[in-house]
A and B are shown apart, each in its own frame.
Chain A
Amino acid sequence: MLRRLPLLLPMIVLLSASVAQAQIDLRWGGRVQSDIRFRTAAVGLGGYYARTELPAGVARNENIFKLKLDAGYDRFTAVAELDFVFYGYSQQLEGIGDLSLREKVDPYRIEGQALYIEAVDLFVNGLDVRIGQQQVFWGKGDQFNPTNTINSNDIEDPLLFGEQVANMMVKVDYTPGTTWTFTGVLVPIFKPALLPDSAFIGLSAADRLPMVDSALRWRLHTEKAFTESVLGFPTVVQTAIPDLPERTAANMQWAFRVAGTLWDQDIALSYYYGRTDTPQAYLNVTRLKNDPRCDPNDATRCIRGMLETETRLGYPRMQVIGLNMAGQVNLLGWLSSKIKPIGYRVEAGLFLPQAATISLLQEEMDFGLYTQPAGEYVYHFDVSGSGRFPRPLVVDDTPFAKWVVGLDYTFNKYVYTNLQWVHGFPDEFGAGDFITEGWAVRSGGTGDLSLAAPCLFDPNPQKCLATAGEKVAVETLRPRLGDYLVLGVDIRLLSQKMLVRLFGILDLIGIYEERWDEVAGERVREHLGMFTSRGFSAVIYPEVQYNFGNGFELGAGALVMLGDTDSKFGDPATGGSQVFTRARFTW
């Protein structure tokens, strides 16, 4: 018998395993998707010396294999949802040796959309716990969710706007009855937002100064113009490096929510303590690089070098108090029984941001005629001390609100419409709207630079420019929080197999151009509204999908970005207009 034990043991283990296996309910599904996109025109920013650009042509050529697997046993479920994304193009090959490297020739990545364990009715009925990599979606708005701040935004693919970056967290839900649910979430480590591959173009917009203090911005615009036009050294942002918060207990994020139904309306109140996922500059280090060159298209335009700036980005703390409501109202039902209740949704977040400052440092810069010593920039001349404190704000601690108010209605079995007023886009952060003044710079420069020419001969040129900047600087501004009209229309045809969708976003604000007015003797701000050629900015997103049934779909469409380069959507950093095709099989 003893001699047989080594054989018996594996058999017992195998038998036990198969019994356990039988009790585990395994389910799986998947999807194969092919995306091809074309950028219709090259987009880019910057002078000839520091041009960033994405070319026209194939912008995306991805094949995605999604695998979702969940294993359930009693009250426990383990879930894995992974996307295997094959880029569809080779990386930059640096030698013939790279042709032997599959990861260079046929690169891919894995996206972990979910990897967690869920226990339901744990210890007491109604107590659910979910631990692991997951996405928690709060908010009643459609795609625009200012109270949905637990996961960071995933806007790497602009067509999948509204997606979130999965993160490791612990979520506890308690539903004592059938109506109200209390939720607590703890996120140990902050993850930043994922940005589109066109985001780097924003580096060339060195004129989009982030400081709240307008006088400081005017001075910087003027100095920048001087160093470029007089000294031959334009300023460029060479790199922007995000610095993530340290992995400490103090940097953990957490949130609470209570959600339920009251008087037949869905309502939720939430609180979030964490960080904005929109990076803010907190440090600029500028160094002079002697690199004489001329414009290849105009040999008379030359520079002696550049002032290269390295920007460090941080994620300021914030608290968000959220309110969500959704339901239906039948305001016009008394007119006819054919008029059905309209769906409404209201989502509002009160943001309490932590003030964030920026430090401007420079290495010693020898311009030939003049040498700027190394050290920190002198921000102020009107206070005692070094002029280096307090450092300028890029976000002040004024509370601000973002909200979405939406209505939707189905006219008949063919036509569905969805209308939303969005106050504050996901990438907008900080006070500045019709409630509290605050501006974001879309572009900046100088007007008549000769007005500042006397500063060249001033014993303290920086102080002189601080005064002259007010008269010289020109800025294109928008409120930090914009207002947008989002309209979607779905038309379902051929027994719902075909979907024709037209989706659009219109910037309701436009832009403001600000400059010195000699007659008025002060700076004036001219508003160029949404229906002016300079102020107009919109997204148009038409799409056609055909569902062949049993999981097979084909689709095609376009993402058209309209507006000037300093507008919200015409900004080259959005990636420009694209047309796309998509094939998908899901099982």
Chain B
Amino acid sequence: MRTLLLSLAILAFSPRAHAETPGDKVIKQMDESMTRAKDQHFIHRVVTQEPGKAQRTLVMDVRIKGDEWRRIDFTDPGDIKGMKILILSLDQTYVYLPAFRKVRRVAGHAKEQGFMGTTFSHDEMSIVTYGPTFSGKLLSEDKNSWKVEAIRRPGKSFRHKRLVFTIRKDYKQPSEVKYYNEKNELMKTETRTDYTCSGNVCQPKVLKLVDHTRNGAWSKIICDKWEVNTGVADSFFTVRALQRER
């Protein structure tokens, strides 16, 4: 019995159990770079273009704190103004619907719905750090970038099984993300450009997501305002705060 326990303990603490591949290390660096700020505040303009149709725009006020907390307040157009989304983790999401004046818990299945008619899914909008959900495999490397394949970890919930990142070495953040489905078909391509920095915190000013399953429809998130380390309180990321008028 003691031998069995000892073997289990050795297995648990063996380097293999915690093996961090070069790809994992790159993802970890990327996560660290993207969450280096204590908190961030964005005003995002999301423009969606479907082939042959008029562009549609929505505006949202986004705050991120820590590795997972994210709150999105929609400010335009009028039919979604006042709607708020609170993401405490990929499995704990709330939405405040002003027409009903109540907060509703959103279950995991709702991630199947698109995000407000844009090409983004809830998962793509919600995820802040990738390491907890994906394991990495370094595919290639040159002097400017890494190419990393990210495979969804067993038991983790995310719309796409496989992502392929092209990660810039200067900012340690992606310039491109390709999203693949269970059949390994390319579903979406995301590009992140016009990086700007505030101290050692950097982020892209423009993020464009092309959905190959919708005839190349795309949505572009344009950052109109960006603040770092605003000191937003934890209480801002609570169900109660969603019900406050401001």
Residues of A bordering B, CB below 8 Å: 29-31, 70, 72, 77, 79, 118, 120-121, 125-126, 128, 135, 137, 139-140, 162, 173, 175, 178-179, 181, 259, 261, 264, 266, 326-328, 330, 337-338, 340-345, 408-413, 416, 492, 495-497, 547, 549-551, 553, 584-587
Contacts and interface: CB of A to CB of B under 8 A. Distances in A.
Contacts of A408: 107, 109
B239 interface: yes
A266 B100 contact: no
A264 to B, nearest CB: 7
Interface in B19-69: 50, 54, 56-57
B107 A342 contact: yes
B109 A547 contact: no
B151 interface: no
B92 A264 contact: yes
A219 B233 CA distance: 68
B17 interface: no
Interface string B202-246: 000000000000100100000000000000011101111001111
Contacts of B168: none
Which interface residue of B91, B107, B243, B244 has the most chain A CB atoms within 10 A?
B107
Interface string B155-197: 0010000000000000000000000001000000000000000
Contact of B214 (A259, A264, A495): A495
B82 interface: yes
Contacts of A72: 245-246
A120 B236 CA distance: 11
B101 interface: yes
21 contacts: A29-B81, A29-B82, A118-B245, A135-B101, A139-B102, A179-B238, A266-B105, A328-B108, A341-B157, A342-B109, A343-B106, A343-B109, A344-B107, A410-B110, A411-B112, A495-B214, A550-B57, A551-B78, A586-B78, A586-B81, A587-B81
A31 B77 CA distance: 12
A132 B82 CA distance: 20
B106 A413 contact: no
Contacts of A551: 77-79
Contacts of A178: 234-235, 237-238
B110 A343 contact: yes
B56 to A, nearest CB: 4
Given A549-B77, A550-B77, 12 more contacts: A29-B78, A128-B244, A140-B105, A162-B100, A178-B235, A264-B91, A266-B105, A340-B109, A340-B157, A344-B107, A413-B114, A495-B50
A140 B103 CA distance: 9
B109 A409 contact: yes
Given A29-B78, A128-B240, A586-B77, A77 B245 contact: yes
B200 to A, nearest CB: 28
A125 B236 CA distance: 11
Contacts of A416: 110, 113
A389 B83 CA distance: 56
A76 B139 CA distance: 54
Contacts of A411: 112
Nearest to A344: B107
A496 B116 contact: yes
B100 A410 contact: no
B126 to A, nearest CB: 14
B132 interface: no
A584 B80 CA distance: 13
Contacts of A409: 107, 109
Contacts of B100: 137, 162
Contacts of A549: 54, 56, 77, 117
A327 B88 CA distance: 13
B154 to A, nearest CB: 9
A496 B114 contact: yes
Given A175-B235, A586-B79, A326 B105 contact: yes
Contacts of B111: 340, 410
Given A125-B235, A137-B100, A587-B77, A492 B113 contact: yes
A328 B91 contact: yes
A30 B57 CA distance: 19
B235 A343 contact: no
A338 B181 CA distance: 11
A587 B75 CA distance: 10
A495 B78 contact: no
A411 B96 CA distance: 22
A345 B237 CA distance: 22
A175 B77 contact: no
Contacts of A341: 91, 107-109, 157
Contact of B101 (A29, A31, A137, A410): A137
B112 A412 contact: yes
B89 to A, nearest CB: 9
A410 B78 contact: no
B106 to A, nearest CB: 7
B78 A413 contact: no
A79 B245 contact: yes
Nearest to B92: A264
Contacts of B77: 549-551, 586-587
Nearest to B112: A410
A30 B107 CA distance: 31
Nearest to B238: A178
Contacts of A135: 101
A126 B238 CA distance: 11
Nearest to A77: B245
A351 B213 CA distance: 52
A121 B109 CA distance: 35
A126 B101 CA distance: 20
Contact of A340 (B92, B105, B112, B214): B112
Nearest to B107: A343
Given A137-B100, A328-B108, A495-B50, A550 B56 contact: yes
A128 B77 CA distance: 29
Interface in B109-145: 109-114, 116-117
A408 B112 CA distance: 13
A30 B81 CA distance: 10
Which interface residue of B56, B106, B246 has the most chain A CB atoms within 10 A?
B246
